[in-house]
Amino acid sequence: MSWVRAIALDLDGTIASHDVVAPDVVRAVGQARLRGFRVLLVTGRTVKALEKQFPGLITHFDAVVAENGSVLVGLDRHRWLAEPVNRALADSLEQRGVCLNRGEVLLAMSAEHDAVVLREVTDRGLDCVLLRNRGELMVLPAGVSKGSGLLAALELFGLSAHNTIVVGDAENDHAMFDVAEFAVATANAVPSVKEHADLVLEEPNGAGVIGLLGGPIMDGEQGSTSVRRRVRVGAFADGSPTLLPSTCATVMIVGGSGRGKSYLAGVVTEQLLDAGYQVLVVDPEGEQSALGDLPNVEIVQAADSTEADQIAQRLHRGHSVVLDLSAIGPPTRMQLLRDLAALVVELRAESGVPHWIVVDEAHTLIGVEGPLRGVFDPTAGGHLFVSYHPERLCPEVLSGVDVVLSASPPIDQLIDTENLPASSLPRAAFGQAQLLRSDRADTARPFTVAARITAHQRHQRKYAHMTLPQGKGFRFRSSAEHQLPEALSMEQFQSQLHQVSPDTLAWHLRRGDLSRWFGEVLQDRDLATFIAHVERDLVHEQQLQVLRCRDDVSAAIDDRYLVGREPVPAMP
């Protein structure tokens, strides 16, 4: 199913030619609506002019945005989207011989009067916008455009501009192009509109629109990624940005454990959220909870398998959701995800949201028997899968991957590219590293990953609750007074940190034992880096007290792993 849920069409020069809309165009609009698309008419004309020149045309659309975004007609509503332009301005212009078309909100006239109109608006100190549309000039209230009107029309139906295609031909269509996900120019469009578009139709006016409405983009059979909507996730060595498509794409992040996959997934997700996309993050290990600091993002810490409806309701209300599964076991987790998958598929079919589904540990959840396998739809796109075993993903996912972001080691060491069919290879792939193409694996390009907006929390909840295997814990140096057991959990480590003598702690700090354990065993690079600074300070600044080092390390562990728990009392 295509990601498209709405299509907005300009009138003059787009579906109308010489004040005529061909019957075939009206028929194509009707067929698109029967297939479930919302079709909107967005025009600079007044409603009265529409009804006079095109009797009954309004009834063939789900909604009409008239007067260049200032009047909305739809769902039995007819309302202004702004206060009308000052009527005294209209009277004054008419007295100066300017022939006006007075709309409900705007004023329209020939563009040959632009100097006179500008002088009158300036002299009166009015907050208005003068906008050209080929040979016409419109005077609009500030802030009103086809783009703002389109957003108001989409709101009537609970739809997003990220699920919308717009088609236009003239200068006043630029604002509509700016808000919609995919912009299409007719063959007869002015040059600036063609330059602004993602696609230029081969035929002019209604003929081109008919081909679009019945073509492969609307069916999801042809990729329709907007070059204007790509998100930046880093920079190549030459300074050029590393860009990912934000529409109709499946992205995979691969790499070994501790190679930065989750960090990179966080970078991509933050960029998508910042661009206004609605995202569902399935987070098995609780690594992405910091995303909750961003606007309109809710963290749901799953407690049982009955929460699927509540999560779907949050998505339906337009919120992005990070589903933290770290506190529930595999059977409960799988049941919750099976129930949620069915609801997400239904929601995406209805409204196109969430725009992106991000799944960590994807080889388990999107594998052949994975509970989320049903959410994968290559025609809709909007998938980000993170895995250190990509070969375990179901075949349709492997064949539908568009972009691969690969942490070291190289992608060709993680996916058996020789034994996969050619159709299963990614069309393009980036890496931590690398830019791969299916036909030339030697085109890998290194890039520097962008910094995260929010903090990366590597296995935060996982290591806060779990017990490590014997031999993986931290063992403080023994002394005559204290024979401490191996610390196999974060709570045990924190408790022992406050029990050992300052001399013992100083001995470990000078050796770098604490930072090494956090970095190599827990693979928490951020905290390991912080502790390494504390260790170096102790070595280089002799006046720095050991107990101050202990307090700094202890506070960092509390903030990162043990938030909300009772503090561990310090030993005398």
Residues with catalytic annotation? 10
Taken as a whole, the chain contains a residue count of 572
344: left (phi over 0), alpha (psi -120 to 50) or beta: alpha
Give the Cα-Cα-Cα angle 109, 111, 112 (nearest 5 degrees). Answer: 105
For residue 205, give both structure tokens.
């006016």
C-beta pairs of 171-175 under 8 Å, 24+ apart in sequence: 171/131, 171/132, 171/133, 171/134, 172/44, 172/68, 172/131, 172/132, 172/133, 172/138, 172/145, 172/146, 173/10, 173/146, 175/69, 175/145, 175/146, 175/147, 175/148
Instruction: Report strand pairing: 136-141 vs 107-110.
Output: antiparallel
* Residue 490 DSSP one-character state: H
Decide if 100 contacts 77 (C-beta within 8 A).
Answer: no
Cα 292 from chain centroid (whole Å): 14
| Residue type (1 letter), 217 | I
* Residue 479 DSSP one-character state: -
- Measured between alpha carbons, how far apart are the two ends of the chain, in Å? 66
Distance CA 357, CA 412 (A): 25
Per DSSP, what are the bridge partners of residue 320?
Answer: 297
The torsion angle over the Cα atoms of residues 274, 276, 281 and 285, rounded to 10 degrees, is 10
My answer on whether omega of the bond before 446 falls inside 30° of 0, hence cis, is no
Distances (CA, A) of 285 to 302, 359, 368: 12, 11, 21
Decide if 167 contacts 186 (C-beta within 8 A).
Answer: yes
Distance CA 569, CA 554 (A): 11
For residue 280, give both structure tokens.
């569902």
Decide if 333 contacts 308 (C-beta within 8 A).
Answer: no
Distance CA 358, CA 365 (A): 11
Decide if 253 contacts 264 (C-beta within 8 A).
Answer: yes
Distances (CA, A) of 166 to 40, 78, 184, 200, 444: 9, 22, 6, 12, 36
Decide if 138 contacts 130 (C-beta within 8 A).
Answer: yes
